[in-house]
């Protein structure tokens, strides 16, 4: 997968699902969920309906897709996207930790890059198990946001990466969002705890390499993202770290411009796709 991931603008992959989703990932989803005529499949944290559109293109007759998301605006967009592709999908606003469905009702349940933002991951996985019928598939695809790799060919770049990690870590902690930030490799254990037998783990690399000095608008976008994060930071200490990081980012931009064609920047992280089957 090639995408526009950027550890210098975000601590997680939260906002990037639409950018790294490709045909290979759709094929994996289809192979894993095994959609069959008449199946009911639940997407927890459907966002703007990307998965529903891609699965719908498989043209499985009488397939019943359902998507839930905590944010009503995303649900409305997802509903519009499905309608625009002439697909019939059920959408609702709901909490992953309290799904509004009966026990054992879905043939498959899945989520992509969602658990990393849920405070009680254990409760969410318990709900996945509850609503999935015995023998049904459960799939969760999550990164380990603490295990990113980042390289810059100049000292200012490494300083910027270090300051970014310090600022975003403090920001996540101050907001109380850190519970699931490294959830990816923990999924098999969480599945087993709730009666979902782990069957396979597949890794998907998400990476970006830049050669040659980036255009000015990249630095403008990076700076704007950091300024917005600083403005929303809940504590004075976090804002101070943000301003320190902003200074480091500006220094990195200057050195990158001077480096010209010798500039190199590499970023990489991994998605852990855990496939399970609910015990009979």
Residue span of the structural domain in which 111 resides: 17-146+178-204+270-278
DSSP string, 183-205: -GGGHHHHHHHTTEEEEEEEEEE
Residue 68 has pLDDT above 50, yes or no: yes
**Domain membership flag for residue 8:** no
d(CA 69, CA 87): 18
242 and 195 fall within a common domain: no
Same domain, 35 and 170: no
CB 29 within 8 A of CB 52: no
**Mean pLDDT, residues 197-204 taken together:** 94
- Residue 2: pLDDT band with limits 50, 70, 90: very low
- Both 106 and 195 in one domain: the answer is yes
Cα distance between the two ends of the chain:
35
Cα→Cα distances 140→26, 32, 167, 241, Å = 14, 11, 28, 33
Dump pLDDT digits (tens) for 70-82.
Answer: 999 999 999 998 8
d(CA 94, CA 104): 18
Average pLDDT over residues 21-27: 77
Q: What is the CATH number of the domain that holds 106?
A: 3.40.50.150
Same domain, 88 and 153: no
Whether residues 34 and 73 fall in one domain: yes
Per-residue pLDDT tens digits for 148-158: 899 999 999 99
Name the H helices within the chain.
Answer: 17-20, 23-33, 50-56, 72-84, 121-131, 155-175, 187-193, 216-232, 236-259
Rounded Cα gap, residues 185 and 142, in angstroms: 8
Mean pLDDT over 201-230 rounds to 93
Inside any domain, residue 192: yes
- The tokens describing 98, both together, are 């309290």
Query: What integer is the mean pLDDT of 190-202?
Result: 96
Q: What is the pLDDT of residue 261?
A: 95
pLDDT band at 3 (very low <50, low <70, confident <90, very high): low
Q: What's the pLDDT at 25?
A: 80
pLDDT per residue over 123-143, tens digit each?
999 999 999 999 999 999 998
* Mean predicted confidence (pLDDT) in 103-120: 92
Grade residue 181 by pLDDT with cuts at 50, 70 and 90: confident
Residue 233 in this model has a pLDDT that exceeds 60: yes
Q: What's the pTM value of the predicted model, to 2 decimals?
A: 0.84
Task: Give domain status of residue 12, yes or no.
Answer: no
In a domain, 4, yes or no: no
How many domains are contained in the chain?
2
User: Looking at the predicted structure, is the pLDDT value of residue 101 above 50?
Assistant: yes
């Amino acid at each position: 997968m090639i995408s526009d991931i950027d550890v210098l603008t975000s601590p997680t992959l939260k906002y990037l699902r639409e950018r790294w989703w490709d045909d290979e990932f759709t094929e994996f989803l289809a192979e894993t969920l095994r959609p069959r005529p008449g199946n009911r499949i639940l997407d927890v944290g459907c966002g703007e309906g990307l998965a529903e559109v891609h699965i719908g293109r498989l043209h499985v007759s009488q397939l019943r897709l359902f998507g839930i998301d905590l944010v009503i605006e995303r649900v409305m967009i997802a509903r519009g996207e499905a309608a625009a592709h002439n697909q019939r999908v059920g959408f609702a606003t709901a909490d992953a930790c309290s799904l509004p469905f009966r026990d054992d009702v879905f043939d498959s349940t899945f989520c992509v890059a969602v658990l990393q933002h849920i405070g009680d991951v254990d409760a969410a996985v318990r709900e996945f198990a509850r609503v999935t019928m015995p023998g049904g598939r459960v799939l969760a695809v999550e990164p380990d946001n603490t295990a990113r790799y980042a390289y810059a060919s100049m000292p200012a770049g490494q300083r910027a990466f270090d300051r970014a990690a310090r600022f975003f870590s403090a920001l996540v902690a101050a907001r109380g969002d850190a519970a699931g930030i490294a959830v990816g490799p923990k999924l098999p254990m969480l599945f087993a705890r709730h009666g979902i037998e782990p069957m396979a783990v597949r890794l998907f690399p998400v990476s970006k390499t830049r050669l040659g000095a980036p255009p000015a608008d990249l630095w403008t976008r990076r700076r704007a993202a950091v300024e917005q994060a600083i403005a929303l930071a809940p504590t004075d200490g976090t804002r101070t770290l943000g301003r320190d990081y902003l200074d480091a980012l500006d220094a990195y931009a200057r050195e990158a411009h001077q480096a010209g064609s010798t500039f190199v920047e590499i970023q990489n992280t991994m998605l852990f796709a855990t496939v399970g089957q609910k015990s009979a």
